[in-house]
A and B are shown apart, each in its own frame.
Chain A
Amino acid sequence: MTARWLGVVALMVLTGCVANSPVVRAPAPVSAPVIHPPPPVVLVPKVEPAPSLPPPVAEPSPEPPLPEKPVLPATPASTLLVSVQAAVAAGKLDQGAALSERALRISPRDAQLWYQLALIRNRQNRLDDAAGAARRALSLAARDMGLLQQINDLLQELAAKAAAKLAK
Chain B
Amino acid sequence: MTPRNSSAGRHPNSTGPTFSRHIPRFIWLLLVLAVLLVVYRCVWIDRKIRRDFDALQWELPARIYSRPVELYAGVHISPDDLVDYLQRLGYRRTAKVDRSGEYKVNGNHIALRTRGFQFWDGAEAEVYVELTFDGHHVSQVQDGKGTDLPLLRLEPVEIEQINPATGEDRMPVTLVDIPPTLIAAVVAIEDQRFYTHHGIDPIGIGRALWADIRAGGIVQGGSTLTQQLIKNLYLDKEQTLRRKIEEAVMALSLELHFSKDDILTAYFNEIFLGQDGNRAIHGFALASQYYFARPLNELRLDEMALLAGIGRGATYYNPLRYPERAVERRNVVLTRMHELGEITDKDYETAHKARLQVREKVVNRNGYPAFMQLVYDNLKREYNKDALRTKGLNIFTTLDVTMQSKMEERLDGAVARVEKSGHKNNPLEAAVVITDANTGEVRALAGGRKRGYSGFNRALHAVRPVGSLVKPAVYLTALETKNFTLASVLADQEIELKQPNGEVWRPQNYEREADGDVYFYDALQRSLNLATLDLGLKIGVDKVKATLTRLGYTGDAQPYPSLLLGAVDMSPLEVAQIYQTLASSGFRSPLRAVEAVTTADGQPLAFYSIETKQVADPAAVWLLEYALRGVFERGTAKSVTPLLRNHMPLAGKTGTTNDMRDSWFAGYGNDLVGVVWLGHDDNQETGLTGAAGALQVWANLMQAFDIEPRQVPAPESIKYDQVPVTPNHNTSQRDCSSTQSLPFLADAMPDVSISCEVNDSFFGRVIDRFKGVVK
Interface residues in chain A, defined as those with a beta carbon under 8 Å from any beta carbon in chain B: 5, 9, 11-39, 41, 43, 45-49, 51, 73-76, 78-80, 83, 94-95, 97-99, 101-102, 104-106, 108-109, 117, 128-129, 132-133, 135-136, 139, 142-143
Contact = CB atoms under 8 A, between A and B. Distances in A.
B612 A142 contact: no
A168 B596 CA distance: 33
Contact of B212 (A18, A133, A135): A18
Contacts of B234: 35
A143 B316 CA distance: 70
A147 to B, nearest CB: 14
B174 interface: no
A33 B249 contact: no
Contacts of A23: 217-219
A76 B205 contact: no
Nearest to A24: B313
B201 to A, nearest CB: 9
Interface string B557-571: 000000000000000
A33 B233 contact: yes
Contacts, number: 229
Most B Cβ at <10 Å: residue of A20, A75, A109, A128: A20
A105 B439 contact: yes
Interface residues of B, number: 99
Contacts of A33: 166, 168, 232-233, 270, 272, 282
B220 interface: yes
A137 to B, nearest CB: 10
Given A33-B270, A76-B150, A39 B57 contact: yes
Interface in B276-318: 278-280, 282, 312-317
Contacts of B167: 29-31
B756 to A, nearest CB: 29
Contacts of A97: 607, 609
B148 A74 contact: yes
Contacts of B243: 16
Contacts of B611: 129, 132
Interface stretch (B379-387, B402-410, B450-458): B379-387
B227 A20 contact: yes
A131 B390 CA distance: 38
Contacts of B72: 75-76, 106
B312 A24 contact: yes
A17 B606 contact: no
Interface string B589-613: 0000000110100011111111111
A19 B121 contact: no
Nearest to A37: B55
B151 A21 contact: no
Contacts of A83: 122
Given A43-B391, A80-B151, A139-B587, A48 B212 contact: no
Contacts of B618: 139
Which of B249, B282, B313 has most chain A Cβ within 10 Å? B313
Nearest to A18: B222
12 contacts: A12-B245, A20-B221, A23-B217, A30-B278, A33-B233, A36-B56, A51-B599, A80-B151, A83-B122, A101-B609, A129-B609, A136-B612
B525 interface: no
Contacts of A14: 202, 205, 209
Q: Which 5 A-B pairs have the closest CB atoms?
A: A16-B244, A108-B438, A29-B280, A98-B121, A31-B166
Nearest to B151: A76
Nearest to A1: B35
B422 to A, nearest CB: 45
B610 A20 contact: no
Nearest to A72: B150
Nearest to A96: B121
A133 to B, nearest CB: 6
A51 to B, nearest CB: 5
Contact of B715 (A80, A104, A139): A139
Contacts of B249: 12
Contacts of B73: 74
B248 A12 contact: yes
Most A CB contacts (10 A, CB to CB) among B151, B202, B217, B279 go to B151
B70 A76 contact: yes
Contact of B245 (A13, A48, A117): A13
B221 A46 contact: no
A22 to B, nearest CB: 5
Contact of A12 (B236, B244, B382): B244
B614 A132 contact: yes
B489 interface: no
Given A28-B237, A132-B614, A136-B612, A39 B391 contact: yes
A18 B587 contact: no
A57 B135 CA distance: 48
Contacts of B8: none
